[in-house]
Structure 1
Amino acid sequence: MQMSHFISRIATVEIPVSNLDSSIDFYIKVLGVHIESKMEKTAMLSFHQKGVPTIYLVETEEIHPLSFTNTNSNAMHSVIDFYTPTLKDFYHWLKKNKVEIGPLNINEEGIGGFGFKDLDGNYLSACNIEHIGQ
């Protein structure tokens, strides 16, 4: 099978939420995103950064929180990792603002991350790891 050259980046990450307005407030406060558009049951949020995916919140009664367990290590994983160069400061800010967070995991080089949950229990994470091309 030949490799496709049609996709060059992630455009949007879609997240199920039970209450659109509360979730918009949470994502604006926690991630610093901006509302690009808002309909009755959906909202497009943006970081206003070129090449960075938008976040599409979709209000639904069918909430299955985003996460999975690594069956090799038993660690909980998020589907989305958000980048921050100030990992420890963000961790302490979330804790101070009563966001549900997991342990802060940082290696000897200062690289690491942690998980946190949105209002619907969607497991998100933050890291200070930059990959080639980012």
Structure 2
Amino acid sequence: MSHFISHVATLEIPVGNLEKSIEFYIDVLGVELEFKGEKNAMLTFKKKGVPTFYLVETEETQRTSFKNTNNDIVHSIIDFYTPELKEFYQWLKEKNIEVGPLNIQPENGYGGFGFKDPDGNLLAATNVLHEGQ
């Protein structure tokens, strides 16, 4: 068993317009700009153990999502936690940010939804925390 890795350090996200993406991530996620280069930027939540976001401006059009061929659901590879899932969903809609359906399990109130950044990268929000988070 490997004990070399302790946590996720950085999530790298391809973007088409660095300035527009920096504004989006700061506004929507509440992250802070830690570093900005000519074609890249590092954003952070400023919390211990939480990954940073490395935005890389590129002409590559592949985005952060995949289709589950078992059920045809398109998944995000990044889920953000919020205890106020319904309120965050409504706030994004009011900001005209593309959101998917809000899925909440009636038996326990847990759920989530997908939303897109300006480049079409699929992100998700959930109100589910796992042990150790």
TM-score > 0.5 by shorter chain: yes
Deviating 4+ runs (over 4 angstroms)? none
What are the equivalent positions in structure 2 for 1:77-88 lying under 5 Å apart? 77-88=75-86
User: Match for residue 129 of structure 2?
Assistant: 130
Q: Is 1:65 aligned to 2:57, yes or no?
A: no
User: Match for residue 5 of structure 1?
Assistant: 3
Paired with 1:66 and 1:9, the residues of 2 have a C-alpha distance of 20
SS in structure 1 at match of 2:43:
strand
User: Match for residue 18 of structure 1?
Assistant: 16
User: Match for residue 38 of structure 1?
Assistant: 36
Superposed displacement of residue 63, structure 1: 2.1
SS in structure 2 at match of 1:35:
strand
SS in structure 2 at match of 1:44:
strand
Paired with 1:40 and 1:63, the residues of 2 have a C-alpha distance of 19
Paired with 2:32 and 2:84, the residues of 1 have a C-alpha distance of 20
Q: Deviations over 1:25-61 (max 9, x none)?
A: 0001110100011111110000111111000000011
Query: TM-score, with normalisation over the residues of structure 2?
Result: 0.97
SS in structure 1 at match of 2:8:
coil
Comparing 65-74 and 112-121, the one that deviates more: 65-74
Superposed displacement of residue 97, structure 1: 0.2
Structure 1 gaps of 5+ residues are none
What are the equivalent positions in structure 2 for 1:36-115 lying under 5 Å apart? 36-108=34-106, 109-115=108-114
Residue identity over aligned pairs, in percent, reads 65
Paired with 2:89 and 2:128, the residues of 1 have a C-alpha distance of 15
Q: Deviations over 1:44-90 (max 9, x none)?
A: 00011111100000001112111111111211100100000100000
How many equivalent residue pairs? 132
SS in structure 2 at match of 1:40:
coil
Paired with 2:73 and 2:59, the residues of 1 have a C-alpha distance of 28
Structure 2 gaps of 5+ residues are none
SS in structure 2 at match of 1:82:
strand
